[in-house]
Each structure stands twice: as structure tokens, then as C-alpha cells.
Structure 1
């Protein structure tokens, strides 16, 4: 073991007082005692509000903000977000229930995703939320269910464009995709919507996620607006809703640079006059998930063992990939990278060492930090994984090996 020059916490959004991380103004050790168990996720409501306020300040005022609940559907968090944003997007009937429970106007809730089952679609029609149609078959199912209810379903067409968001973490458009209607097939779908006399709202065009390159998002927005204006000529009614998706990324790994919003905002400002002139009734929506909540959350697990194996120190914690799959490397990335990790109650520490943080599961994939320099930790100390507010607990195999569940709190 060697003494290493003290360093600061890798993520600055959470203060450090007396070497202890503060969450929502509460010392981590006190928060852990208040919760009464580890592991847990904690989300800072002040950081959530600040992120929305940043977007309101930088983006054109005409842009509406929607929260994509799949990033984090925790009911208390969604309730908080509903008071900050203009709308919610859901991807299942359970998410729809959480969204409706917030009191959000159903007209500002949209339902996206392939393979929606008839009971889910029927519930969406009854709730009068907007259904983003993913196929011609789904369109016919919605029309039939609407007739059975004596209601006129609100629909938009999710478009699979003929381009993708370059350098995105997850490409969701361009080429064959299970998401949306191929752009070249959209005119026929629009004609059928007109024949069926559904309540047509507009388009949802989403091309990718987790992008830190402003120029790539600007290009995607350019092509999205061009495509929307072209498709609008076949619309059965005036376009009232144009959801241009999100794709805004957050930094996770060394060398990642936070997204520069200024070029994106300037480009939206440039486009809005033309879009409004040609589509006078349109509301332009930016739908974000990870960017709104990802940096506001942490995952906390407790050191239960400290062991040395052939000269290398392992900190064994009571949480792992079953709670935070992404931080572990998603069941084996080709090149695994460490999320930002600290010992939350010894952030800087006086003694430091290179260790690996592993979980309790019987698999070598249960790894939260691989050969990472941390403050020297002992049994009972708290390991913190930053950037954990999005795609954490509900995106992880919680039932894997049947370990105890994790809790979530909003502070």
C-alpha cells in the first residue's frame, strides 16, 4: 500500500464536506442510516430541477420538454419531474399508470414502443393519451379498439428515418429497425389514418441516444426537420406535434466532455421560424431521459469484505450487476470502462490504493470498478457509483441469483 496525493471527487455536482459526499444536502452516512439499509439508489431533486432549468434557459422558449420515463420510472421521481417538464413519454402500461397518477394532462403523455399489446392500447385510448404508432398493423388495431370504445384515438406516427444519429451510444434509426414506420412507408400510413378518421397529432422522429457531439445532434435535427416538412405534405390533418427526440448524452468515462448545448440551441432557433411558418399549429418537443436524470443519481453499496488475492486488493460489496448492470459492463463489454466511483465516506482520504470493487454474485462479471485508485476502504465503508440516475435499477437483472432487493430514494 502506498500514499497517493489526495484527489477530488470525480463528479462535482455533489458537494464533499469533511470528506463525506453530500446528497440533497445530507451527508451520505446520515442518509444511509436514515434509509436503514444498503444498497440503495439516491436521486437529488435539486439537481433534477437545475437540469431542467438549464435547458429552459439555453434552448429556445418555444421548445417543449418531455421526460422519457424509461430512463427512470421511480414514481416519486416521475412525480417531481412532472412538475418541471411539459409532458411525459411512457413505454408500457405500468409506466402509463405512473404518469397518469402524477396528474399530468393526458394530452401531454405519449406512448411509444414496438409490440404494444391490445390491452395496453385500449388503456391508452381510454386515457386519451397520444399513441405513437409503430406499424401499419398497430394502426389497424388502434382503430378497431377505438371503434369498440366509441372513442377517436389520438395518434402520432413514429418515423424510422433513413438516417441515424452519428456517434450515438445506441442507434435507433436508419436501416432495418423494429422502431417506427420506415420513412418511405409513412405516406401510406398517413392516408390510412385519414381514412380511419383518427385524431392525428403529428410525428415522433428519434434517431439515437447518448451523444456527446453537438455537431452530430445538429445534423440529426437538420435532417429531422427536413423529413418532417416533407412528410407533412401527406398528413391527413395539420401537424400539431413534432417530437424530434433527444439523444443528448452525459459523460461517464475519462475523456468524456459534457455536451455543449449552445450549437444545438442556435440551430433550433434557426429552424423554428421556418417550421412554424410551414406548420403553423405545430408544437416542437425535445424528449429527453438520461440527460435529465442521469447525473442526479448515485448507487451506494457497502463494503462487506476486504481481501487480497495474489497481491491485488478486492473490496467485496453487497451490491453489483443485479442492481446496476450498466456500471458492471452490461454482461461483458468488449472494452469495459469504469464508471466514476468513490468511497463515499472517504472521498479523498489520506491513504489511497488501487483496488477492484466486486459484488456478491458468483460470476466474474459482477464488477463495479476494475483496478481503480480509491481511498483506502474498510468493511462498513460506502462505495458510490456516480452517473447512476438513468437506466439503473429497472434496467438491471434484479432477480439474478435471488439476492435482496435494492431501494430507491428521492432527497
Structure 2
């Protein structure tokens, strides 16, 4: 997708990008300083509504808070989704502060600290255990508190998903319990006083191929159907993961959500209903819910020419938006969509390189991009910034102030 296509999703007012119905210059004045992240409340709601309109009614929608834990965003989504998934004690507290029912919160991730597990058991949420050690710690917490821990087993599947941005299942993994170990563990802890609700299988993230996602969901149901035979009670909770991707570069094509939904309808109405009739299927999404609803706004501090190349030096950079810079040079870097936000509709005829204010050549936000003629005080906007932005970046690097975040 091209930058102007992303701009069209937000809208423009008098030639400026608008977020939440506010023209960018007015929004910047309201925030008081740049850089900042802005999230569009209307786009968040629209994304949830679109998912609701195509996914099977039986499927519950869970928000993976790790994508964007800003409290206002979590509060906005808490009343619109069915569940929230957390990955730390702080995220758990943020989720419970929304007023969502504890039984609608799940806690996944390797290396949960004993204190976090005790907190989770006390709250009555679903703990998605990822190792025998976590099972032992959950049992100990339940004994100490006089409570029956509610758990699901996160399973490392015996298959891998191709085409994912990050593979999180198949082969050796720090995530989950290897599928072949699950029957033995269920037998070992059958009388340990656990309320085992079901399973969580997440094989990969940031996938733009509908057929691959559908295959992963089908294979997940096949896998869990076999594991369910080793449970004393019927499977009541089946987290199918998510992995729905969003387009970050011009060569990326948006995920065909209707194709994913069509395959999921067939799966839910067929094999899942036949084999696991009491299971509530859950789709857990983070990036797909919030990623396209946010922008990162930074101001041009300097325009300079070095041996024929024009640089726009901005007041933000990789310390706020690590992914757009190429993750400390560890990935093949491609430009994220960006525009001159206060002059979106001006003609594009100026090839420039947009860099941040840090003392490293890795602080690169746009390499040889064609923009309207931009100068000092113009606002550069990077799209697809609603997920894995601020909290996934090295904000302490070089000691610059943290950017603001606003939900409008």
C-alpha cells in the first residue's frame, strides 16, 4: 500500500492529515510538543466492527495487550472485545483496571515470575502455563491462597507456519509445552487441584497470507482434538492464536480477511463443533486490531545537503520507533509509509532521507523517499504505528524525552 492510501484511511482537512477528526497542526498544538503517537478511536472501533461482521459468532475476540498497552487504548478496547491477553503483572493490573471480568483475562508468555503467577491465581484469570515449572508454581500459589488455579496449556505445536514475521511454534521453542509432552503432563497433574480449561496454540505472527492462517487454524484444531482425549473434562477454552498481519511497506498486500473468515466458519461449523462441542474458540489479535489505527508524528529540525543527498533531521527517531528504523540494523530494512502531514496533498517531487536525532547512522526513518518539498517545522508522519511502537523501542537511548501518546 502507498502512503496516500494510508492517509486516506485517516482523512484530510484543508490539505492536512486528520486524526480523530482533528487536523494535524491542531492536534500537535493540543499535545504541546513533538514527537508523539496518536491513535484514532474511530479506526479502532471500525476494526473491531469489521472483525465482528465477518468472524463466526461463536468465536470470541481477544486483545493481545502487548501490541499497545497504553491504558486509554486498553480501556477503549475492553468494552468492545470479549477478552484481553496480558504478558506481565503490570499488564494484568492494567487489564483489571478496565473493569473487565477476571475470567476474561488470560496470561501468556515464558518466564512468568512466581509473584506474577500468585497475582494471577489470586485474580482468578486464566494462566496459560508454558512449562512444568510454571505448573508447579501455579499449584503452589493455589495451595497458599486456598484457591483452585484456572489454567490452559500453551502448546508448542508439531508444525510450523510459513510466511510469518516471527515463528513462534514448531521445532524447539521457548514458547509453550511441546505437544508430545502434553499427555504425560496432564496425567501427572490430573489430581493436582487445577481447573484445566483447555489449550492455547500460537504458531506465528504478522502473516499476510489467508491460506496459511487458515491451514494453521485447521491444524490447531486437529492437534487439540487429539490432546483433548487426555483431559478429564471437556475442552472449554481454545485459543487459536492470531497472527493476522498488516501491510508495512508498499510491496505488502493487505490480508484478505474475508478469506480467513470463510475458512474459519467452515472450521467452526464443522470439525470444531463435531470434536470439541463445548469449546469456546478464541482469536487473539494485537497488531491487527491497533496497528493501522496509529501514527507517529515528528517535526523537522534541520534540512541539510551532504554531497548531493538531502537529509531531513527530525526530533524523533529509532528510540521511539525502532521497527521503522530496521531494528538496530538486524533486519532487511524497508521504508514504512510516511508523508509530510501538514501538506499531504502537495505534489511529491523531492527525494530526501529522513533521519532522527540520535548519534548513530542506524537512526533512519525514511531512505530516499519522494515527498513534497519539506523544510524546518514541517511534520513528518509515519503510518502503521499503533502496535509495537513506543513500548517496543529503546526510549532511554541517549536520554531524549519520551514522546506523548494520545487517543483521539
TM-score, structure 1 length as denominator? 0.97
Correspondence list, 1:219-230, <5 A: 219-230=215-226
Distance 1:259 1:189 in 2: 37
Distance 2:196 2:253 in 1: 40
Residue of structure 2 aligned with 1:118, choices 101, 110, 114: 114
Matched residue SS, 1:194? coil
Residue of structure 2 aligned with 1:378, choices 359, 375, 380: 375
Matched residue SS, 1:345? helix
In the alignment of these two chains, the number of paired residues is 405
Distance 1:354 1:64 in 2: 46
Aligned to 1:304: 301
Matched residue SS, 1:104? coil
Aligned to 1:358: 355
Question: Shift of residue 324 of structure 1?
Answer: 0.3
Aligned to 2:227: 231
Confirm or deny: 8 A CA contact 1:301 1:319 kept in the other structure.
Answer: yes
Distance 1:351 1:261 in 2: 32
Aligned to 1:213: 209
Distance 2:90 2:328 in 1: 26
1:351–1:298 distance in 2 versus 1, CA, 3 Å: closer
1:288 paired to 2:281: no
Confirm or deny: 8 A CA contact 1:59 1:265 kept in the other structure.
Answer: yes
Distance 1:159 1:206 in 2: 8
Aligned to 1:330: 327
Aligned to 2:194: 198
Matched residue SS, 2:375? coil
1:347–1:333 distance in 2 versus 1, CA, 3 Å: farther
Residue of structure 2 aligned with 1:267, choices 263, 267, 274: 263
Aligned to 1:3: none
Matched residue SS, 1:229? helix
Aligned to 1:24: 20
Confirm or deny: 8 A CA contact 1:191 1:236 kept in the other structure.
Answer: no
Which of 150-159 and 182-191 deviates more?
182-191
Aligned to 1:177: 173
- Provide the alpha-carbon RMSD of the alignment: 1.2
1:131 paired to 2:127: yes
Confirm or deny: 8 A CA contact 1:193 1:200 kept in the other structure.
Answer: no
Distance 1:291 1:282 in 2: 24
Distance 1:191 1:302 in 2: 60
Aligned to 2:252: 256
Distance 2:61 2:105 in 1: 12
Confirm or deny: 8 A CA contact 1:11 1:340 kept in the other structure.
Answer: no
Which of 273-282 and 100-109 deviates more?
273-282
1:77 paired to 2:78: no
Confirm or deny: 8 A CA contact 1:203 1:228 kept in the other structure.
Answer: yes
Distance 1:334 1:22 in 2: 31
Aligned to 1:4: none
Question: Shift of residue 351 of structure 1?
Answer: 6.0
Question: Shift of residue 197 of structure 1?
Answer: 2.0
Distance 2:4 2:179 in 1: 49
| Cα displacement string for residues 5-62 of structure 1 (whole angstroms, at most 9, x for unaligned residues) | xx94554311122220000000000000001011000000100010010010011111
1:351–1:212 distance in 2 versus 1, CA, 3 Å: closer
Matched residue SS, 2:190? helix
Residue of structure 1 aligned with 2:101, choices 94, 99, 105: 105
Question: Shift of residue 347 of structure 1?
Answer: 1.1
Which of 7-16 and 143-152 deviates more?
7-16
1:277 paired to 2:285: no
Confirm or deny: 8 A CA contact 2:7 2:17 kept in the other structure.
Answer: no
TM-score, structure 2 length as denominator? 0.97
Distance 2:155 2:6 in 1: 39
Question: Shift of residue 334 of structure 1?
Answer: 4.5
Which of 185-194 and 47-56 deviates more?
185-194
Question: Shift of residue 277 of structure 1?
Answer: 3.0
Matched residue SS, 2:342? coil
Aligned to 2:53: 57
Residue of structure 1 aligned with 2:316, choices 315, 319, 329: 319
1:44 paired to 2:44: no
Question: Shift of residue 348 of structure 1?
Answer: 2.7
Aligned to 1:145: 141
